[in-house]
A and B are shown apart, each in its own frame.
Chain A
Amino acid sequence: MSERDSPELPDFSVLKRLARDQLIYLLEQLPGKKDLFIEADLMSPLDRIANVSTLKQHEVDKLYKVEYKPVVSTSDQLCFLIRPRIQTVKWVCDVVNADKAAGKFKRYKIIFTPQKFYACETVLEEQGIFGDVSTDEWAFYLLPLDEDIINLELPEFFRDNFLEGDQRWVRTGGSALHLFHSIYGPFSKVYGIGRCSKMVYESWREQVKEGEQKARQAEVGTVFLIDRDVDFVTPLCSQVVYEGLVDDIFRIKCGCVEFGPDVTSSDKSIKVMLNSQDKVFNEIRNEHFSNVFGFLSQKARNLQTAYDKRRGMDIKQMKTFVSEELKGLKQEHRLLSLHIGASESMMKKKTKQDFQELLKTEHSLLEGFEIRECISFIEEHINRQVSMIESLRLLCLLSLTENGESNQFSNNLNSAWPCQSYGVDHLLTFANLKQLGLLVEQQPGETLTVMESKMGKLVNDKTAGKLTDAFSSLAKKSNFRALSRRLSLVPKSDEEYDLRVPRDMAYIFSGAYIPLSCKLIEQVLERDGWTGLEEVTRLLNGHEFAVTGSNGADLRPQSDAQRIILVMFLGGCTFSEISALRFLGRERGYKFIVLTTAITNSARLIEAMLDNHV
């Protein structure tokens, strides 16, 4: 179906250089030798753009990971590279105050990234060290993870924004978009859906207004913004496309995965970068797992043939072979055995946990079929104390797909049994899941009256804030079933689905479900807006928009820049969604660039809701 070649993606290496140059500039603001303390979750992102020798060149003496313990540094200059978190700043205050008490005089600098928050500076003030510590911002917003993935590496965006209702990252999102826009824009079309998307759009627009915009050829012309809470179902499903599965099982961190001894079949673990530079990985990352073995063994045979060419070579030919081909073959050999090892290990793990049955349950839930069996499967999962994350994930999936309607068990399912199996501490976790709308509790007949009395109160209380809140709690209904019908998200199950020759994005879930998020993107691009999707947006509680810029940007839909689409996921996206978009791009002649606040999956999503710790 590929009607034409997809356009070329822009070069993102600029982003890394920019971030590195900024960091160097900031380090030079504290001249002389200094020790650098780095927040743990900033280490991998930093790793991607700078190395130890770069830092050493700029007089960083020793590097430490922030561990919330007293420091042993002897340097008289300390620099802290941290996220704007109150807890971390409090720790820095402790360090400074301990030095003061010991009569040591040092210079301190905090570099907040990607920005500082007022609340953090208040901590410095309250702890009496405001002025003793200089602060700066490292506007490191965009980390290119691959040629089509850019990550903000802000996993807390999800919880802060959607659970806590804290809009601290809205401007960050706007700034990230602004940075992208100023290098690869100007954009000519922006589509979006979700409350946060709207706010990020507005923040971006304000920032564009503030700065000057040079007229120039756009590299990326179309943008789609989407809130994670528009589609919770997709990230809660088990991933079965290779890259997603690797993430579910081994957890890819900042584009890098650590394969343990069971994969490497040695006694060591190795870290492997997973991106398009890995030729083997690049060919299987978007494949359904069932195709991967076949592909890898074919590849292994080809490799053998290439090696075998050596036989019967004369010395000269052999010399050329060794200097030109052998290195490449060896590299491929190594990658191949790694991915075969990973596939085997994943197979083993999945067989052990009855993956087939688990998938069957998920598919039934998506289809709305044999719900009773699904419920008893989940119940048993809980009773047998199988992984809590997995149980909660299935419970949420049940609640979202059934819209809280299959409720004869809900009271027991939604807290009693899980509390018995995993600890009463999780009452707080359940409160979070309910607050977020992942678990819907329904007392038949009562819900409406509660709503009505709430509304009644509102009529007297004329404040907009309260109305917003009441409506956002109304908005918690997921309407998945109706959406699924409208958008045909679940293909007819009686047809055979050939996973080797996918016919739609449903292949990423074994042909059982087209991810809602990606389907919306497809529809809006096809319709050039939300026209005709009124019922869908109503079911999604609105907040959709489609706007066109008018600053002389190229608006021809056929132009390359228009066919390169930046999709910004606010609250994270999964590798499966990225695979689905890549598929859509191939089918329709688009190229998608994914800009996400974090790479997520079901486990990360649920873990962000856990509250059984101090």
Chain B
Amino acid sequence: MMKSKADEEDYWNSSKFKAFTFDDEDDEFTKKQEVEPQLPHRVFPASCFLFPAGISWSVRETASSLREQSFPKIDTTPSLPKNSSGYSLSSLFKGKEGEREMMDCAAVSLEKFRSLQEKLLLLDEAVGVHDGNVITAVLIYLKKSLSKEVLFRELESRQTALRHFIHYLTESKEQRLLLELYRALGRTEDEALLQYKEHLRITDENKRRDFLKSCVSLPFSPEDAGHVQDHYTLLERQIIIEATDRQAETGGKVEIFQKFPRRASILNMPLITTLYYCCFYHYAETEGTYSSPANIRQTFRIAEKQYFVTALAARAKLKAWHDVDALFTSRNWLGFTRKKSPLSFSRVADILSKNNAPVQVLQEYVGLVDDVELRVALAQKYKCHFIVISTYRDLKDRQLLLGYRGKVERGSEEERKIDELLSNPQIRWKN
């Protein structure tokens, strides 16, 4: 069923807003209409709904007791002994007015509930019927008619109601009251997180930085506290780097910015993106500058592996193969160099190939893959023929080498190499 309705399209354009199309009547479900539907007993919900306090509920006969209950009631409260806190829930409301009747649309005005005990019973009844709408309605009434201190105190021992209240305050964006609530409940970490979240509203980077600075001392969990500190430090740096680099870019004197113009500002980017950026534009800088990758690595305690992955991706993107090489080269005490990597060489090859590294570069790393099978598979995938050839030679597998001869270009250097090996009498082939 494809949608194209020229006539209705016109209509839409006339309303000057983004158009959307409607399905036609030939909808699969509307085709067969001969069956007369049996309507549910209440097509339009009787005005069975809550009205604001003060307005009386519409009355509807409640004949439920006359009807036979065909399905059993199941216990929806947790399988724990009921509280024995002294007051009986039913005594006050039974058969008269209360939550259950609220649902049944009996004439009830919440303002009748004036004593604290009545209010709390109302709330507990609301929680008992599992209708969040009703729970929130009662909470809104309690919020209006009780002092914060009393309300918070009573909510502390009523978790279901409390969660409804928190959600209501969140949705109606009553930040301040919510913070007060958290504070009153001793939920300091929630309080800190909520306050920290406010930074998202601040668009000016300097103001945002200052705000984050003020967040550092909030009572976060030790782990989160570290993150927030890092967030502040990072933004502070980003502001400095951004100012310098923007100037360098518009000045037109720095080659790298001319060759690879920045696509976006570095402000508010994650740490790893920032590291990548610095590895891209500021790789050679000494540790003293804010933008040097080494400095970032140290300041933010970036793990070795993570640093390598990022630096590798950045330098490979620039096709700075020399830097890539240097990244992995280490010297032992005798001065011999060897390749070392905190991440597997197969991954290194993967990153390089995704950055279109030439075969000459790729094969160096593919050749370092320990697992023979994987090495051959990768070498074939990346067309590092010499790696395949030398691996087969090491395996002394003449048959595989012969087979591979058909896969390389005729008259190529690879072919010559294979022929040379095949005719080498020194090799003891296993087959």
Q: Chain A's nearest CB lies how many Å from the CB of B188?
A: 13
B44 CB-CB contact with A under 8 Å:
yes
B410 CB-CB contact with A under 8 Å:
no
Contact check, B23 vs A48: say whether CB atoms are below 8 A apart.
yes
**Contact (A72, B16) CB under 8 Å given A170-B131, A423-B270, A471-B78:** yes
Q: Which of B111-119, B196-204, B281-289, B362-370 contacts A (4 or more CB under 8 A)?
A: B196-204
Main secondary structure of the interface of A (DSSP, over half): helix
A380→B308 CA distance, assembly (Å): 11
Partner of B305, one of A65, A383, A614: A383
A105 CB-CB contact with B under 8 Å:
no
- Mask, A144-178, CB within 8 Å of B = 1, is 10000000000000001000111111110000001
A227 CB-CB contact with B under 8 Å:
no
A408 CB-CB contact with B under 8 Å:
no
Partner of B35, one of A11, A144, A206: A11
Contact check, B227 vs A545: say whether CB atoms are below 8 A apart.
no
- Mask, A86-106, CB within 8 Å of B = 1, is 110000000000000000000
Contact check, A464 vs B227: say whether CB atoms are below 8 A apart.
no
Partner of A164, one of B77, B167, B172: B167
Contact check, A202 vs B31: say whether CB atoms are below 8 A apart.
no
- Identify which of A121, A137, A420, A423 gathers the most chain B CB atoms within 10 Å of its CB: A420
Contact check, A465 vs B160: say whether CB atoms are below 8 A apart.
yes
Task: For chain B, residues 260 to 280, give those with C-beta under 8 angstroms from any C-beta of chain A.
Answer: 268-273
B71 CB-CB contact with A under 8 Å:
yes
Q: Which residues of B contact A612 (CB under 8 A)?
A: 200
Contact check, B78 vs A171: say whether CB atoms are below 8 A apart.
no
Contact check, B37 vs A14: say whether CB atoms are below 8 A apart.
yes
Contact check, A118 vs B50: say whether CB atoms are below 8 A apart.
yes
Partner of A198, one of B35, B42, B76, B83: B76
Q: Which residues of B contact A212 (CB under 8 A)?
A: 41, 67
A415 CB-CB contact with B under 8 Å:
yes
Closest to B14 in A: A62
Q: Chain A's nearest CB lies how many Å from the CB of B192?
A: 10
A63→B22 CA distance, assembly (Å): 12
Q: Which residues of A contact B84 (CB under 8 A)?
A: 462
B298 CB-CB contact with A under 8 Å:
no
B8 CB-CB contact with A under 8 Å:
yes
**Contact (A464, B44) CB under 8 Å given A165-B164, A427-B228:** no
Closest to A421 in B: B272
- Mask, B4-25, CB within 8 Å of A = 1, is 0000100110111110111111
**Contact (A13, B223) CB under 8 Å given A18-B43, A380-B347, A611-B197:** no
Closest to A164 in B: B167
A133→B135 CA distance, assembly (Å): 24
Partner of B130, one of A56, A170, A423: A170
Contact check, B270 vs A420: say whether CB atoms are below 8 A apart.
yes
Contact check, A118 vs B32: say whether CB atoms are below 8 A apart.
no
Could you tell me how many residues of chain B have their Cβ less than 8 Å away from some Cβ of chain A? 112
Contact check, A52 vs B11: say whether CB atoms are below 8 A apart.
yes
Closest to B39 in A: A18
Partner of A208, one of B2, B29, B70: B70
A190 CB-CB contact with B under 8 Å:
yes
Contact check, A384 vs B313: say whether CB atoms are below 8 A apart.
yes
A139 CB-CB contact with B under 8 Å:
yes
**Contact (A144, B50) CB under 8 Å given A383-B272, A385-B272, A465-B160:** no
Q: Which residues of A contact B385 (CB under 8 A)?
A: none
A230→B49 CA distance, assembly (Å): 32
A464→B269 CA distance, assembly (Å): 46
Q: Which of A265-273, A399-407, A579-587, A598-606 contacts B (4 or more CB under 8 A)?
A: A265-273
Contact check, A14 vs B133: say whether CB atoms are below 8 A apart.
no
A249 CB-CB contact with B under 8 Å:
no
Q: Which residues of A contact B72 (CB under 8 A)?
A: 547
A496 CB-CB contact with B under 8 Å:
no
Q: Which residues of A contact B33 (CB under 8 A)?
A: 13, 17
Q: Which residues of B contact A198 (CB under 8 A)?
A: 74, 76
Q: Chain A's nearest CB lies how many Å from the CB of B281?
A: 18
Q: Chain B's nearest CB lies how many Å from the CB of A214?
A: 8
Q: Which residues of A contact B166 (CB under 8 A)?
A: 164
Q: Chain A's nearest CB lies how many Å from the CB of B154?
A: 10
Contact check, A18 vs B343: say whether CB atoms are below 8 A apart.
no
Contact check, A420 vs B272: say whether CB atoms are below 8 A apart.
yes
Q: Which residues of B contact A425 (CB under 8 A)?
A: 200
A471→B73 CA distance, assembly (Å): 23
New contact pairs (5) apart from A64-B15, A209-B67, A468-B159, CB-CB < 8 Å:
A65-B18, A123-B172, A165-B164, A214-B38, A464-B78
Q: List 5 A-B contacts (CB under 8 A).
A: A21-B43, A211-B42, A277-B28, A468-B159, A551-B70
